Structure 1
């Protein structure tokens, strides 16, 4: 299906007509096992393949500087996709391409509708802001199997934030809420594959001045976009690579081993510099924090630092504040502080999200 869809490349025009964004703009293709005039033979059962808004996603791939041949090779190569883990709360399954560049997520019908509804605004946003941190979508598809059950599988293809030569030692999913925002794993079982949450965060990430200013500008713009689209419940997914030894059995990294010269050399290396961008391959300092009270959103800084490389982006941007979320908010507000729960209206969510993120990420004012 991918080979057929990507191989059917037409001219890419950035100024797309409104009709290209119409949710009804989709292409069904039949793939019989014996092949057809337009499709190759295959060893699977009979299926139909649907491309949603193909012109839009083709242009998005162009904006995101994705080479069609490389994209096809990543998704359609001989190596099988890797399933990441069991379904989360959403019930979605996640798969990684063998080269780690792309992630495939199965979607509910409501999520597909949400993405199509916001697609025009999303397109305009990512076109206007090259360094946007919102999730990058490369394709939206559906496979319908032939036979009695006629099962449909809808899925989106996204960029993998953690595609890197560096090992991601810790990953955090940060929302700015506190209710239920801790991992359910005991300390001894936490590893590099554990997704930690807001109340597990024990660092303040200190960015160099120009990067911090760019970071704030972009988070402000991205949150403004999500608020306008009435989106809430999104997260900043953060991957941390520690540049130095790590005390895996303890709760903090070992003493940093990177000198000021090493850090400056890292930044002056042209081969390394060309790979650095907002949200990817960013050299930073992480200051260890300690929570003295359970009510503390961010712990107290300790003055202990280590050098890290950060990867981050805004994910889960397809949940709108619908009637279900409004009922969830009303119900939980009777039991808990309404500011601590995840399901709040988009304006409040955006404000709380930024308040938290700007405590977790701060300007590095010490040149040491």
Structure 2
């Protein structure tokens, strides 16, 4: 096991980073859709001697981009071997934090920590490992649960979306955690802002910002180094979700052609698709607007733009509409959410736990005022920080993809788009305008 400082990362050759290699292999759709949902190989491509190799390659490329949804990464999948290595590497990396669990306050050197573990045929590097172990504990996430999910013997899933992103998205089999490939500069940016990100989440523990849980890279023999992050899935659990939206608060290029209602393929809709819809939150509307202001102010101060507000709809069952249901559990989750203490308390001890521990918590809250930190009464669900219940619907809400810095290139892009779309509402605007516009969208579309 090798340790070095993060500053050394910037000295590595940029030739060591690159996108995931694309080996050939079929994707197997696991959504239960019929063959009509997936393109079939045309007769002209099934060995016709008149077809050139170039034509076949073009056809396969075109058809691949038609695929949307979740696909099982089985032994024939192009990324199967790579993800087997990632599983093994993550299992050992997380075991280090299991074996050396520290409850000491974070130190400056923890943010610069780099741990490289050699394996047969590859090396996996963990960056700022102590920071993320501390943060996972802050969220109430048990290290063993995290390890078991990421290193499960069950297949990972690949999510292919209608996004313009060149990144690859992988999902653990239980759909709790996303692995997303990143460019080296994106990793460096996140690491440079990690202390600010952690501070913001401590200040506002019910923040809607996506929860980053780990930063890693993998170097396979004779291949380029690949960087990836691990984050919580905002749309978890997803088994009853009916609609998904990616919102940027603008209109240009913000329409996705909806699929037929009986289609089993997952698609994420955009701003223009949302017209005519509202997010009905009732008494939680003010909290939502306030938290959006807090989170977008943080992102504005990072000088970033082009992030998205993810929104998903789920119809509430009758028993889920009872506001006082599991109230003791909800109080414990909400009061202790900032310290990650109550997530594993057995239900038969919960009432006694809440009565006993809330006294000390309220004493602490004199210094940590819950209202000042915009805390709310969390629902008693698996993904409480990104779940808001309205009168009729449950909403899964979170902010993602805040890596785009408003630099010279983006300023030029703004000028160019201003000429192309005079008076139009497009994504590339300065961070102050971007933040206020997204908050305005939330105010307009919530009741």
User: Which TM-score bucket, shorter chain as reference?
Assistant: 0.7 to 0.9
Select the residue among 430, 441, 446 that pairs with 1:356: 441
Distance 2:162 2:279 in 1: 30
- Residue by residue over 1:229-270, the C-alpha shift from the partner in whole angstroms, topping out at 9 and shown as x without a partner, is 1111111101101348xxxxxxxxxxxxx6xxx665365355
Number of the residue aligned with 2:234: 161
SS of the residue 2:250 aligns to: coil
Matched-pair contact (CA < 8 Å) for 1:166–1:241: no
Inter-CA distance 214–185: structure 2 relative to 1 (3 Å threshold): closer
Distance 2:321 2:261 in 1: 35
Q: Larger % of strand: which? A: 1
Distance 1:58 1:331 in 2: 43
What is the Cα deviation at residue 11 of structure 1? 3.7
Inter-CA distance 322–220: structure 2 relative to 1 (3 Å threshold): same
Distance 1:155 1:87 in 2: 20
Inter-CA distance 190–266: structure 2 relative to 1 (3 Å threshold): farther
Matched-pair contact (CA < 8 Å) for 1:79–1:98: yes
Distance 1:235 1:87 in 2: 14
- Residue by residue over 1:256-300, the C-alpha shift from the partner in whole angstroms, topping out at 9 and shown as x without a partner, is xx6xxx6653653557842284531x3325xxxxxxxxxxxxxxx
- Residue by residue over 1:13-62, the C-alpha shift from the partner in whole angstroms, topping out at 9 and shown as x without a partner, is 4632223223xx31222112xxxxxxxxxxxxx10111111111111111
SS of the residue 2:390 aligns to: strand
Select the residue among 17, 23, 28 that pairs with 2:116: 28
Number of the residue aligned with 1:235: 308
Number of the residue aligned with 1:206: 280
Matched-pair contact (CA < 8 Å) for 2:410–2:428: yes
Inter-CA distance 335–165: structure 2 relative to 1 (3 Å threshold): closer
Distance 2:435 2:109 in 1: 31
Distance 2:119 2:230 in 1: 20
Inter-CA distance 157–145: structure 2 relative to 1 (3 Å threshold): same
Inter-CA distance 78–87: structure 2 relative to 1 (3 Å threshold): farther
Q: How does 1:1-368 map to 2 (within 5 A)?
A: 1-9=89-97, 10-13=100-103, 15-22=105-112, 25-32=113-120, 46-85=121-160, 88-147=163-222, 150-164=223-237, 166-185=239-258, 193-201=266-274, 202-209=276-283, 211-243=284-316, 264-265=321-322, 267-270=324-327, 273-275=379-381, 277=384, 279-280=386-387, 282-285=388-391, 307-337=392-422, 340-362=425-447
Whichever of the two has the greater Rg, that structure is 2
What is the Cα deviation at residue 119 of structure 1? 0.6
Q: Larger % of helix: which? A: 2
TM-score (norm 1): 0.77
What is the Cα deviation at residue 102 of structure 1? 0.6
What is the Cα deviation at residue 220 of structure 1? 1.1
Matched-pair contact (CA < 8 Å) for 1:28–1:51: yes
Matched-pair contact (CA < 8 Å) for 2:280–2:393: no
Inter-CA distance 11–221: structure 2 relative to 1 (3 Å threshold): same
SS of the residue 1:120 aligns to: helix
Matched-pair contact (CA < 8 Å) for 2:124–2:218: yes
Relative to structure 2, which stretch is displaced further, 56-65 or 270-279? 270-279
- What is the Cα-based RMSD across aligned positions, in Å? 2.3
SS of the residue 1:20 aligns to: helix
Inter-CA distance 89–208: structure 2 relative to 1 (3 Å threshold): same
Matched-pair contact (CA < 8 Å) for 1:104–1:157: yes
SS of the residue 1:8 aligns to: helix
| Structure 1 portions without partners, runs of 5+ | 33-45, 245-257, 286-306, 363-368
Distance 1:156 1:205 in 2: 30
